[in-house]
Each structure stands twice: as structure tokens, then as C-alpha cells.
Amino acid sequence: MPSHLIFGIFLVLLAGAMCGNCMTPLRGVRNWKWENAWLIFSFVSLLLIPSVLAVVTIPHLTRVYFQVSLNDLLVPLLFGAGWGIAQVLFGISVVNLGMALGFSIIVGLGALFGTLVPVLVQRRELLATPQGSLLLTGTAVMLAGVAVCGYAGRERERSEVSGAARRVSGYGVALALAVLCGVLAPMVNFALAFGENVARQAVQLGAAPANAPFAVWPVALAGGFIPNAGYSMYLLSRNRSWSAFRTVWPETGYSALMGLLWMGAVALYGVATRFLGTLGTSTGWGLYQIFMILAANGSGLLMGEWAEATRGSVRVLLAGLALLAVATVLMSIANL
């Protein structure tokens, strides 16, 4: 396996581990409500860090944006806004459907569309090759792994409520929102894949090719900031929780750490796509989702989240994680 591919997979692995654990600091927030922490998280991850990274890594950043067309900027901005809506819907979906079912629907659809759409639009001819067949097979195995992990989580939720199924008011609406979220979730990947003109212009003005995605993120994630910040401020007003900001520490630190981990993961993923070959934003996205799920579930096991689950549920979870490991191998080989 070429060294550049190994390095790219390593970066995606690290990115998935960071993203899978980026919400862990939220456990330390005691005096704030969710919306307080989310507003700070959104500001740090979607505005502050992307802007700093772009200024540091992209020479002549202002010229990059002035020398591309308005359409080149609007495409990643609108995709970012679509992803931002998905972030809001994610929180609503998991509350109404439960973490296991909501997460499996959203991540499954997000992984499917995020993996296949870039290659269908940009490299459709590759699907008829052995490389494309491996990608499609790996995607199918990945979806099976997500479904099995989701089933295991659902069984754990059932055992936690003594075998009673979760009763959801407006289940159909909640399910529709989860599906919509899954469709919109990979738009952050589309912003990178279809923001290629911005990245290309950055390289022409002196940016290192590996750093080119840093020119796209400030535009795309600014679009994502709008719905995230808007929903947070709506909740802050509705719940009258603005006053909670009087407590500054350690809540601000935990919220900022969430943003650092999430944006760090996105930044590493963007760099990794440059080392993964012609299918970088397709196999890279699939691997990113796989490693994120592996990291999140691995941390959950270590932190005792499955301590009350039945042995059968844990075995199903391990089977799902094994399928994701197989998908990782298949998608890695697809890049050779």
C-alpha cells in the first residue's frame, strides 16, 4: 500500500476518533443548558477556528476569494447551510426517536449519500471498474454495520426501560425529520468536494495542496453557523437561559474544547482527502463515518454506557463493529 494512502487513512482514523468523542466534554457542563454550550461550540468550531486556520495556512486568502466567481463561493456556503440545518434536526431526531434509532438512520443515510454523490458527479466512470466495485461493496458493508450497531443500541435502550418500547408522539414526523437530516448531513462533505475551485485557486496563489481545504472551510462553515446559532438563540430566549452565561468557567472551556475537537476532526479529514487519491472525498467520507462510529462506541464501552445492557446486545454491537472493520478494509483497498 502506498505511503501516501497509509498516511491519509491514518489522518481519517485520527479525525474519526476526535469527532466520535467531540461531545464528551459536554458531560462536564453543569451550570449551563444545552443551548448555552451549543452557541459557544458553534462560534468556536464554525467561525473562529476555521478563520484562524485559513489565515495561517493560505497565502493571499483575500485574493483567493476575490479571484473566484460568486458561484464558487455560494456552492460551499449553501451546502454548509444545509449541513447546519441537519445539525439542528439531529438534536430533535435523537430526542424523539432515541439515540440508537435516530443515529443509525442519520449516519446511515449520511454515509451513503456522502460516499456516493461525489463519485457519481465527479468520477462516475470509476464505478464500472474493480475499484468502483470495491467502493460499492464497502459502502454496502458499512451500511450493514451501521444498521447492526443501531439495532444493538435499540436493544440496549429497551433493556434500560425494562423491555418497554419508547413511545413517541408524532413518530411519523420524527422519522421524516431523521430521514431529512440524513440527507442533509453529508452536505459538509459536498461543500468540500464541490468547493474545489476555491481550493484550486488557493494552490495557484501559493498554498500547499494539503492545506487547500482550509480555504473552503471558512465559507462552508459560515453557512453552517447561521442555523446552529439561530436555533441556539431561539432556545436561549424561549427557555430564558441567557442568564446562565454569568457562569463563565469551566463551562466556556468545555464548550470551546468541543469546538476544538470537532473542527480539528474536520480539518484533518479535509487534509486526508488530498492523500487518498481520486476517490478521496468518497472513500474518505465513508472511512470518516466508520472511524467516528467505532470511536464513539468504543468510548461508550470503556465509560460504562453498556454496563446495564444484555450480553446479547453487546454481542450484536461487536458484530456491527466487525462489519465496519471489514468495510474499512474494502474501502481502503478501493483507493489502491
What is the pLDDT at residue 152? Answer: 78
Query: Do 178 and 106 contact (CB within 8 A), yes or no?
Result: yes
Q: What is the pTM of this model?
A: 0.76
Domain ranges of the chain: 3-333
Query: Do 265 and 16 contact (CB within 8 A), yes or no?
Result: yes
For cell 440545518, the residue is: 85
DSSP type of residue 161: T
Cα angle, residue 81 at apex, residues 294 and 189 outer, rounded to 5°: 40
What is the pLDDT at residue 324? Answer: 79
Q: Which of 27, 21, 14, 15 is nearest to 254 (CA)?
A: 27
What is the pLDDT at residue 253? Answer: 94
Q: Locate 143 and state its grid cell.
A: 451500511
Element spanning 192, H or E: helix 187-193
Cis peptide before 25 (omega within 30 of 0): no
Q: Mean pLDDT for each consecutive 10-residue tract of the chain (336 residues)?
A: 79 85 82 91 93 94 94 94 87 62 67 74 75 81 80 71 48 73 84 89 92 92 94 94 90 92 87 74 75 76 74 84 80 67
> How many residues can be counted in the chain?
336
What is the pLDDT at residue 163? Answer: 44
Give CA–CA dist 184/113, Å, rounded.
9
